[in-house]
Amino acid sequence: MLLLIDIGNTNITIGFYDKGIKNVWRLNTIPDSRDADEYFYLLKGFVLHNKIKEPEGAVICSVVPQVTPLFIKAFRKIFGFEPLNVTYKLKTGLKFCIRKPQELGADRIANAVAAHKLYKGHLIVIDFGTATTFCMISTKGEYKGGAIMPGLGISAHILFEKTAKLPRVELRLPRKTVGDDTESNILSGIILGHAGAVERIIREIKAEITPDKGINVIATGGFANLIVPYIKGIKKVNPYLTLEGLRIIYELNT
């Protein structure tokens, strides 16, 4: 049994691999409000609930530097060893053809590794999370780069935070394009606007990298199921792509 931990800006996702990804659990990421003891009790609860005794190993990717050492300390206290921490320096099966690979998020590395292993051809991986990120991987495993834009949740929050009268909305499918009240106007603008922006970036990547259009588009992330129905050209939604990548990276490095 292999423990898989993805520390994102919005959620910490924990699961384990045992002939497949199982028992995925999420808790909110609160960077400055929890100490190692709190993470210890949260992680201990997950371990007890799933009757995990002695995992063969663990692997972690994190984009929240202040949380990473706290979580690793809590993990070490429970299991007596540290999880493998993902960076571009590990064996990944990829060649990073970018100027500053040290700046690449560990979650994007995991996504790219999983996509290259699980799917064929040139790939665009789109992660609909706190930010919406795009990664381009060639059929040879060359990580070419990508794009980053504000995610759906950020967009909704900024409208509420930076305006005097616009309300906070719960993101869901808009009933129609032309909204008949403020909330439906916001939903239409955010969801359809985001979908349009994503389609444009996909189209531009295809034109720049593979003019023959021989490219597959894979989606993941917490907002993927909400937004993908409005986007043309996405071939596959894999909600556990990041965790699959962690599993593959662990196998390559142990």
pLDDT tens sequence across 45-104: 888 888 877 788 999 999 999 999 998 998 999 899 999 999 999 999 999 999 999 999
Of 6, 107, 180, 181, catalytic: 107
Q: Single out the residue of 133, 160, 117, 108 nearest to residue 224, CA to CA.
A: 133
Using a cut of 0.75, tell me whether the model's pTM lies above it. yes
pLDDT tens sequence across 23-52: 899 888 877 667 888 888 888 888 888 887
* Amino acid code (one letter) for 79: F
At the topology level, CATH places domain 95-104+120-239 in Nucleotidyltransferase; domain 5 (3.30.420)
Domain boundaries, the chain: 2-85, 95-104+120-239
* Number of Cβ within a 10 Å radius of residue 81: 11
Per CATH, 2-85 and 95-104+120-239 having the same topology is answered: yes
Contact 90, 253 (CB under 8 A): yes
pLDDT tens sequence across 156-181: 999 999 999 999 999 998 888 998 89
Is residue 107 part of the annotated active site? The answer reads yes
* Number of Cβ within a 10 Å radius of residue 208: 10
What CATH architecture applies to the domain 2-85? 2-Layer Sandwich (3.30)
